[in-house]
Amino acid sequence: MMSFTVRPYRPADLPQVCAITVASFDGVAIDRNIERQYGPVGGRGWAERKARAVSIDCVEQPDGVFVAEAGGEVVGYVTTRLDDFGRIGRIPDLAVAEPHRGHGVGRALIRRAVEWLRGRGMALAKIETLEQNARGQALYPKLGFREVARQIHYVMPLTGDGGAADQTDAPGADRE
Ligand SMILES: CC(C)(COP(=O)(O)OP(=O)(O)OC[C@H]1O[C@@H](n2cnc3c(N)ncnc32)[C@H](O)[C@@H]1OP(=O)(O)O)[C@@H](O)C(=O)NCCC(=O)NCCS
């Protein structure tokens, strides 16, 4: 049994949080899917985009970020965001370093995040996962989350000749 603790995030954890993000989200990030179809966007790769999104959550809501520590090292993290108007707290990101997976770290991080959101007055906790992420889909219902919606993400290039034409104006397109 691997021993780990979950503790509040400290700004000094950020480089390790970013490193875990970059190593963990290949195959389970929307930006990764975009890059697979269109290549790096604006000269920035998916990993840089994902690490930046996580960093913003760490900077803007640092007391809502928790890390798992094992052997003095950060091995996982979870971020949260509050919504005092709507009272639906979000869990935007969660990742555990590959060698430490399967030992309950992800589960413990989510539990801690949920507890924190409850303590900050949120009525519901929301988390999203991609259809291609079997782990997320297995984990969240076990912790009490219920599926409420599925969403499709579409992307269209706005530069070059990559297909920005309105297809309904194409010759031969059906018109009323
Ligand atoms: C998702 C993730 C955080 C889970 O972390 P973890 O520490 O391995 O999770 P746990 O050990 O607490 O496992 C909890 C549950 O996750 C599910 N799970 C874990 N590994 C799995 C795998 N390889 N395949 C399917 N389900 C899996 C199981 O349902 C497991 O429950 P069980 O212990 O009753 O079998 C980790 O796999 C990860 O970092 N993945 C890459 C990043 C990612 O997908 N983040 C979430 C984005 S929505």
Q: How far apart are CA 101 and CA 133, in angstroms?
A: 15
Is 53 a pocket residue for ligand 1 (Cβ < 6 Å)? Answer: no
Instruction: Report yes or no on 174 lying in a domain.
Output: no
Q: How far apart are CA 81 and CA 125, in angstroms?
A: 10
In which residue are the tokens 């975009």 written? Answer: 34
Ligand 1 atom closest to Cα of 100? Answer: 7
Provide the CATH number for the domain around residue 42. 3.40.630.30
pLDDT at residue 173, rounded to an integer:
53
Domain of 81? Answer: 5-168
Q: How many domains does the chain have?
A: 1
Q: How far apart are CA 176 and CA 166, in angstroms?
A: 16
pLDDT in tens, 33-87: 999 999 999 999 999 999 999 999 999 999 999 999 999 999 999 999 999 999 9
Q: Which residue puts its alpha carbon closest to atom 22 of ligand 1? A: 135
Distance 142 CA to ligand 1 centre (A): 11
Instruction: Report yes or no on 41 lying in a domain.
Output: yes
Is 136 a pocket residue for ligand 1 (Cβ < 6 Å)? Answer: yes
As a whole number, mean pLDDT of residues 120-139 equals 97
As a whole number, mean pLDDT of residues 87-115 equals 98
Instruction: Report yes or no on 175 lying in a domain.
Output: no
Ligand 1 atom closest to Cα of 138? Answer: 29
pLDDT at residue 168, rounded to an integer:
57
Instruction: Report yes or no on 176 lying in a domain.
Output: no
Distance 38 CA to ligand 1 centre (A): 29
pLDDT in tens, 8-31: 999 999 999 999 999 999 989 999
